[in-house]
Structure 1
Amino acid sequence: MSASSFSELPEPPYYVVTFSSQRTEGHNGYLAMGQAMAELAAQQPGYLGMESVRGEDGFGITNSYWKDEESIRAWKRVMDHVAAQTRGRAEWYSRYQVRVALVQRAYGFTKKDG
């Protein structure tokens, strides 16, 4: 599920869904489901990208980026995603928080070689 690089995003405004989670012990199919959900999300209308990290202690943050709020709501209703959410609460997470925000400004830095 981890996307180990920066997403190439359009100029704001756009939305970010931040999913902060604490994993339970054991994989129990989590890695395969995470990969499947990342691939499915990328096929959804309004999807812009994803960035995800998880520490050795099981705490992780996934940011998914979306064109608008309707795209986010539609993704939340995709049946395979609903099934993954249900399984996540039952097997994979001891705690999670979801936050949805409008990105109004974005900027960054890339160090040049040399």
Structure 2
Amino acid sequence: MSASAEIAQTPEPPYYAVIFTSTLTADTDGYDAMATRMVELAREQPGFLGMESARGSDGLGITVSYWQDVESIRAWKAVGEHRAAQATGKSRWYEHFAVRISKVERAY
């Protein structure tokens, strides 16, 4: 996913953060287009609040997406196009990855 220079403008807590950390494989053909599409698709989802993303030259990337509630996160995970991108990521683009979900109780 391409790096974003903007900090997400989120509402007053509480809300949720999905933290996706990944290391890319050497085969990144098609990855940037897929990542761009996933950002577009996420923005269309009910409960989506914003996103921040960065990737280092070593291939380590962190994307944090913010969501209104757990139900919105579950719905996003179930979107067919997102599921297909996840499957391709697991089989082709990601050497390692982790997903963490947390409740944001305070922000400043």
Same fold (TM over 0.5): yes
Tell whether the 8 Å contact from 1:13 to 1:104 is kept in structure 2 after alignment.
Answer: yes
CA contact (8 A) 1:18 1:98 kept: yes
Aligned residue for 2:106, secondary structure, equals coil
Q: Is 12-21 or 23-32 further displaced after alignment?
A: 23-32
Determine the structure 1 residue equivalent to 2:97.
96
Structure 2 length normalisation: TM-score? 0.97
Identical positions, percent:
55
Give the deviation of 1:80 after TM superposition.
0.1
The Cα of 1:28 is off from its aligned counterpart by: 1.4
The runs of 4+ residues in structure 1 deviating greater than 6 Å are: none
Please say if residues 28 and 91 of structure 1, whose CA atoms lie closer than 8 Å, have aligned partners that are also in contact: no
1:22-101 correspondence runs (5 A): 22-101=23-102
Q: CA deviation at 1:27?
A: 2.0
Alignment of 1:7-26 (within 5 A): 7-26=8-27
Unpaired runs of 5+ in structure 1?
108-114
**TM-score for both structures, normalised by structure 1:** 0.92
Q: Which runs of 5+ in 2 are unaligned?
A: none
SS of equivalent to 1:15: strand
What SS class does the counterpart of residue 88 from structure 2 fall into?
helix
- The count of aligned residue pairs is 107
Distance apart, 1:26 and its partner CA: 3.2
